[in-house]
Chains A and B, each alone.
Chain A
Amino acid sequence: MKFNDLLKEIFWAISGNKARSSLTILGIVIGIASVIALISLGQGAKNAISSSIQSIGSNLIIVTPGSQRSGFGLSAGRGSAQTLTLADAEAIKQQISNINGVAPEVSRRYQVTAAGQNTNTNVIGTMTDYQTVRNINIDTGSFISDVQVTGDAKVAVLGPTTRDDLFGAGTDPIGKTIRINSVNFKVVGVTKSKGGSGFNNPDDAIYIPISTAQHFLSGGNSVADISVSAADQSSMIAVQDDISTLLLARHKISNSASADFSLMNQNDIVSAASSVTSTFTTLLAGIASISLLVGGIGIMNMMLTTVTERTREIGLRKAIGAKKSDISRQFLLEAIMLTFLGGAFGIILGYLVSLILSRLISIQGQVTVSSILLAFGVSAAVGIIFGYYPARRAAGLNPIEALRYE
């Protein structure tokens, strides 16, 4: 039997009972569509998360203080110690090679007022390098200068959201005064929007010189963290090791296991975040593929019904010279065709669902070629697996009994 004839027979069989065929493939359509849509959204979420991590800065290494230990070994938790100082930051800048910038920072939320408006926002005390290290771009005015840092200048650079909150959207606040914790600051610049949300939104922040923050706001000499930007991707590991060695020496700690600081590398954060989203995507796709399994059982059920209904036809085909292989190929291919059609419609539906969801939620879904290939492969496999048994049953029928079947 030629493949061409086989296809015609299958077309007649499937189109001969349109209602049942379409209801049967609906299971596959839903299964494939949900797998496609969920993988697409998972991919979108992964892209969004890694791009938002990338937007923090480039080749970033963040040094944070370790836990504070009392004399009895009681730990107050990571980041609680006040072991990092401006001197540490200065030492890193002087002694470590292959770095683009070092930016220590202290930050705390304060109530901020200006011209009758007030807001509660994150006030970050830092240095000029912060702009390089954290990819901050200036919209109007300028960022904090080295002179302002050494001179304890009471100047502030506003994030665009903070500017909107304090002065109203689109106004130019340069030269105006804001009050942070009863201290007056002159606005010297506004940063460009980076986009972002949540607690550490770089758009909703006020940047002031770190010296000013230490002297007038937080007091003390410690810094909350030191951000270091490595020259390039490949030197990150070396830079990280050098910083560790340097700080261990400065803090007079011989055993690196009891270091009073910890180092975080941006790549680690990205890969940790992507592995989390990948796990979730796999989990969701796994749950969605259960419906694919149910759809496959639906196909098997329909094929078994078809074989029973068409027993006499199978008997006749055998009597007029069809071989076992002709019969089994016909029914197997019929099942594969059903799942394949289901797969094709499922991909279209999944694509539409991911488009609609992308509009409704802020994640930009991404339907990849690999997920489409996966969907086609899985639907063909479902057809083969669930079509095999009915096809074998059809091929194994005894022609005499099949012809007599009522």
Chain B
Amino acid sequence: MIECQNITKAYQTGDISTTVLNKVSLKIKDGEFVAIVGPSGSGKSTLMHILGLLDTATSGQYFFDNQDVIKLSDDSLADLRREKIGFVFQAFNLLPRATILRNVMLPLVYSKIPENEREDQAKKALNEVGLEKDHWQKLSNQLSGGQMQRVAIARSLVNNPSIIFADEPTGNLATQQSEIVMETFKKLNKQGRTIILITHEHDIAENANRIISIRDGIIEKDEKN
């Protein structure tokens, strides 16, 4: 569960202070499928980075799974990300010279899971996103964009996180591929995983159950879909 109050993020460049997020408060319950939408520069990516524990807020309060995370060190945040969060990025960010299977296993390298269980977990994740078995030993750059994004989703699933953050996951994909990827997210949500989707495309956001619109660092609308 995510709960934040009065999150403010400001950057100081010389004498000029830019406020990217201005006292944002929101609450996301377990099992929700939330889309955060807004034009570029609205602060939606910054909000995702803070919610995803990749960045820290300038002020405000943030409870992640009822744990106050504002004062945590970089290493503790890394531990939380590893244990509880999965990320999917617009550019997939797969290792180009590694096989699909190794790409999916990558987060487990940093966990305490024994080596022989890692491959099983990776295969389970690949089955969940529906990537056919004959692709598993291929190198990532031999796949199509949609397949690559599904590998990335499998990678975000492999450590069994409670929340998946997806930052413009369809931004680099054609419409048909986008649909397959969004279907995958819907399926994962039905299995009970919390999904937070960042996008500027309204038809992609339509897939979510709740849409939070952000503009100029302020939540403009927050409505059920």
Contact = CB atoms under 8 A, between A and B. Distances in A.
Co-complex (A, B): yes
Contacts of B78: 318, 321-324
Contacts of A199: none
Contacts of B155: 320
Given A12-B97, A313-B95, A316-B93, A321 B54 contact: no
Given A12-B98, A312-B93, A319 B87 contact: yes
A316 B97 CA distance: 15
Contacts of A139: none
Contact of A5 (B75, B79, B82, B109): B109
Contact of B93 (A1, A4, A315, A325): A315
B81 interface: yes
A16 B81 contact: no
A326 B110 contact: yes
A400 B115 CA distance: 29
A79 interface: no
Contact of A320 (B74, B82, B115): B82
Contacts of B91: 312
Contacts of B107: 320-321
A239 to B, nearest CB: 73
Interface string B81-97: 11100010101010101
A146 interface: no
Describe A's contact surface by its main secondary structure: helix
B12 to A, nearest CB: 16
Interface in A279-293: none
A320 B106 contact: yes
Given A318-B78, A320-B106, A400 B55 contact: yes
A321 B81 contact: yes
B111 interface: yes
Contacts of A232: none
Contacts of B110: 1, 317, 320-323, 326
A90 interface: no
How big is the B interface, by class?
Answer: 20 to 34
Contacts of A326: 110
B49 interface: yes
Interface string A253-273: 000000000000000000000
Interface in A284-339: 312-313, 315-326
B193 to A, nearest CB: 16
Interface residues on A, range: 20 to 34
Interface in A1-28: 1, 4-5, 9, 12, 16
Contacts of A318: 54, 78
Contacts of A141: none
Contacts of B55: 400
A378 interface: no
A258 to B, nearest CB: 79
A321 B93 contact: no
Contact of A321 (B49, B95, B111, B115): B111
Interface string B32-53: 0000000000000000010010
Given A320-B81, A321-B83, A321-B111, A403 B89 contact: yes
Interface in B96-129: 97-98, 106-107, 109-111, 115
B75 A323 contact: yes
A1 B93 CA distance: 21
A223 B19 CA distance: 103
Nearest to B94: A316
Contacts of A9: 109
Contacts of A16: 97
B177 to A, nearest CB: 21
Contacts of B89: 316, 403
B49 A320 contact: no
Contacts of A324: 74-75, 78
Interface string A372-406: 00000000000000000000000000011001000
A65 to B, nearest CB: 79
A400 B111 CA distance: 21
Nearest to B97: A16
A313 to B, nearest CB: 6
A406 B166 CA distance: 19
A400 B49 contact: yes
Nearest to A312: B93
Contacts of B54: 318-319, 399-400
A267 to B, nearest CB: 62
Contacts of A316: 89, 93, 106
A317 B110 CA distance: 9
Given A321-B78, A321-B83, 20 more contacts: A1-B109, A1-B110, A5-B109, A16-B97, A312-B91, A312-B93, A313-B93, A316-B89, A316-B106, A317-B106, A320-B106, A320-B107, A321-B110, A321-B111, A322-B78, A322-B82, A322-B110, A324-B74, A400-B49, A403-B93
5 contacts: A1-B110, A12-B97, A319-B54, A321-B159, A326-B110
Q: For the complex of A and B, list the 5 residue pairs with the smallest distance between their C-beta atoms, beginning with the closest.
A: A321-B82, A320-B107, A316-B93, A16-B97, A321-B81
